[in-house]
Each structure stands twice: as structure tokens, then as C-alpha cells.
Amino acid sequence: FTGDEEHENVTFTFNVDFPYSADTYPGTTLTLNDDNLNKLAKAFVLQPSEITAAMGSKIKFYAVEGTTGALNATTTANGYGHWYNAKGDGCNWGTDGMVYSEFDASGYSFAIGQYPGHCASGDKYTIKQALVYEYETDKNVQATFVFNIAIK
């Protein structure tokens, strides 16, 4: 980077599908391709390795609530992960949990799946997660990841 770049919020949208299951946690893994990784790096004005290194300190990971758009810092799945209810709001694993997404910061991938027996074939969910980088005190830039999930 040359130093002339501006921090800029960015949104990534992905359509994913996987089969319904009553007794297993089927899903898919989505890895950011080079174009998306470059777009993220440009938005944050950081190299990808710097993004990984800043996770948990200057860069925080959130669920984005489906009903309000609010950022929710509480992780409810493995690592940087969240369970979501039918409205796309973060929730705990259990009765309300329908689908989940877990972010692997070193591989820039998302493991996305469902709670066995809670979904039905034909169900659709939209869930969102965000990386928020505080690049100066009280100055943030956000990358939002939108997953449109279809249960087959």
C-alpha cells in the first residue's frame, strides 16, 4: 500500500446451500478467494497477514443481528463463531439455533452449517458477521459478510 488509501466499509455477499439432515451437522466451507481477500485488505488498508495478526485486539469479530443490525460480540459457536435463530439474530446453541458460521482467521474461511433437525428442506436464512478494525482511537472500518443460506 502507498499510504494514500482510505479506509472503506465493505460488504461481501455469498449464496450457500447444503442438504437438510435430521441427525448430523452438514454444511459447507467457504474460503475467501484472492479477489475478496484483496478487497478486504484494501478496505482495511492492511496486508492479509496483518489482519490475521490483529484479530482479537485491533480487529474484533461480531454477529450482526438480523432484526436490528446491531453488532453482537458474544461468540456462541466454535472460535470466531455464532449460532443464529430463524430471524438471523445471534443465539445460543440449542432450541433456537438453526444455522451457524465459524470464521477461521488464518485461512480466511467460514464453516457454515445447520443444527440437525431444526431446519427443513427448502428453508432459507440470511445471517451476517462482521470484522471491525479500529485503526485509530474511535475510528473504525467494517467488513460485513452476508450469507444467504438455502437448505436443500
Which run of H or E residues covers position 31? strand 27-31
pLDDT of residue 2: 54
Question: Residue 83 has what pLDDT?
Answer: 98
pLDDT in tens, 115-151: 999 999 999 999 999 999 999 999 999 999 999 999 9
Predicted local confidence at residue 4, as pLDDT:
62
Q: In whole angstroms, what is the distance from residue 130 CA to residue 146 CA?
A: 9
pTM for the full predicted model:
0.95
pLDDT tens-place string over residues 89-118: 999 999 999 999 999 999 999 999 999 999
pLDDT of residue 1: 52
What DSSP element (H or E) covers 43? helix 34-44
> In this predicted model, what pLDDT tens digit does every residue of 48-105 receive, in sequence order?
999 999 999 999 999 999 999 999 999 999 999 999 999 999 999 999 999 999 999 9
β-partners of residue 30 are: 110
Rounded Cα–Cα distance for residues 41 and 53 (Å): 13
Q: What is the pLDDT of residue 24?
A: 93
pLDDT digits (tens, 9 = 90+) for 27-41: 999 999 999 999 999
- Is 37 exposed, middle or buried (CB count within 10 Å of its CB: 0-12, 13-18, 19+)? middle
